[in-house]
Chains A and B, each alone.
Chain A
């Protein structure tokens, strides 16, 4: 019964399409393109997607300006005979300055211009060297080296590297560790949440009278911004004044209070505990909704058949709960897999999960090319997880 939409109908979904394209699709696609480049914003030769030879005019003009400035200071300090050489060089540099002063920050660089600029750099280097012995204190002698090196970086070549970033991923131990950490965090936290959530849901399904109170308290941790609740846990885990850390130490769960925020095992445990605290109620509510649609009559007939509570649970509750459970598990698994806020605020980045690693690469070290590759790899894993849930385990997401 599929048909083409009418124009009017299309107008109904147009706002959705617009918002999704502008604020989700476009950013996602641009980061895909980053993965093919050696794109690092803290290096001016790599701070954009360059597909052809390019001149960094802004820096080039600035460097010419510096050389002119040094030379003008030097000219009065050299012999009459040498002044002409320096003045000629100044004129050449001034001409370059004038030629590019009003152009865009970067322009495309024809081979001829490339050679011309390289020649000028070589000439300046040569002048600096030739005067080094005669006038060791000249600025052009003492200071031009770094400027000239910087000038060479103004001649930018393409930073398109194809799939090199992806191949780097294979040999990156830190990436492997991040994958490991992410899976440990996801599997442990989601399974603990499932167990506790199931227990809680079964209880809530029985105790109809207290359910309102339980539901209210259950919703509070879920409704608090993660950025705020992580801060609360950070305080509770604090090595000197955190009550949870002190309590755990006294109970013998950890050896010393500061371990929760400092060691690899401690931070993993702490992050999982905070996550379990925040999302177990959410899991319980999802499962409770599934429990509540199970026909009560089924339980009654099962108890008449003489089945015990465990038998009833495995033969009636679990199979009927399967679809709700799988959807709940899928949502939680994907959320846990992308964990960022919680760990970023709690420990500033340990244990290092994939999101944290990608963030450190992109924002911390300004390496957007490789950082985007990590995100893309992460997305591939997320898609794979979703695939396993939907196709292998049979979770039904899109209902018709």
Chain B
């Protein structure tokens, strides 16, 4: 009987089984806690305003009168345009940051030049500085060059994305054996050519990781867009969501609906590229 087998006396098997059950219980518990806020946001996004407040209806899982009005309203308010803006801005940032980071990482990984440690420390130091302090001076610059309210904001994003990108790229370039490059040099490649034709393709996983990390931090940026692109036409997702307030109340129905809509691209990226993301998070943390 099954119960008999389960209560088998001693033996590592039983220990392992209990351990497994316990572990899986923990994992399921973790997944539930992790996802609960999103599930609740999803639930709320289908509730009419009246049900979101109020003691009896606020905690119901299924709305009494489910509605998609919240979604229609935020779409009408142009939330999808902000998703489009975010895609453009994060896309451009990713492109140029990966290029710039590859070029410098190539030199940093390959050549022992004077001031290298200083350069790396500088980059690290910058990433430690509180962000708000750079906003004012950058605004003045953008104002003087008439770059406000445009996609030029991507240039300013370099301050939050470049340090990490250089860091990851250096880690990956170092893993490529120097002999590969020497062979290319013998074949007559210049440094420029060997970077783009030999090293870059070989470091593809690292490049990809850098690209995704850059994309996500650009996607998440809030303070710079808020001040540099005040006009609605150029607002990105984090800013657009935080404007769904009226003077006297926060529109939870609309905010939850908008959250669901804007989380979809992030979800897609996480689902498709989780391996690269994990490698991005951990590069530098593990000494191999």
Contacts and interface: CB of A to CB of B under 8 A. Distances in A.
Interface of A: 1-5, 8-9, 12-13, 15-16, 19-20, 22-28, 30-31, 199-200, 203, 206-207, 210, 212-221, 223-229, 231-236, 238, 240-241, 243, 246, 277, 281-282, 285-286, 288-290, 293, 323-324, 327-328, 331, 334, 338, 340-341, 345, 355, 358-359, 362-363, 368, 372, 375, 378-379, 382-383, 386, 396-399
B114 interface: yes
Contacts of B128: 334, 338, 379, 382-383, 386
B contacts with A: majority SS: helix
A111 B78 CA distance: 58
A363 B130 CA distance: 14
Contacts of B256: 232, 235
A286 B274 CA distance: 14
A19 B158 contact: yes
Contacts of A216: 270-271, 274
B130 A378 contact: yes
A256 to B, nearest CB: 14
B272 to A, nearest CB: 10
B278 A20 contact: no
B137 A27 contact: yes
12 contacts: A13-B103, A207-B23, A219-B274, A227-B222, A227-B242, A235-B252, A241-B58, A285-B278, A286-B285, A340-B131, A368-B136, A375-B133
A396 B117 CA distance: 13
Interface in B107-143: 107-108, 111-114, 116-117, 119-126, 128-138, 141
B133 A241 contact: no
Given A293-B286, A340-B132, A240 B58 contact: yes
Contacts of A9: 107, 111, 113, 191
A129 B222 CA distance: 55
B33 interface: yes
Interface stretch (B36-44, B62-70, B180-188): B36-44
A67 to B, nearest CB: 33
Contacts of B155: 19, 23
Given A3-B113, A23-B155, A30-B137, A223 B162 contact: no
A241 B252 contact: yes
Interface in B239-288: 239, 241-242, 250, 252, 255-256, 259, 262-263, 266-267, 269-271, 274, 277-278, 281-282, 284-288
B76 interface: no
B271 to A, nearest CB: 6
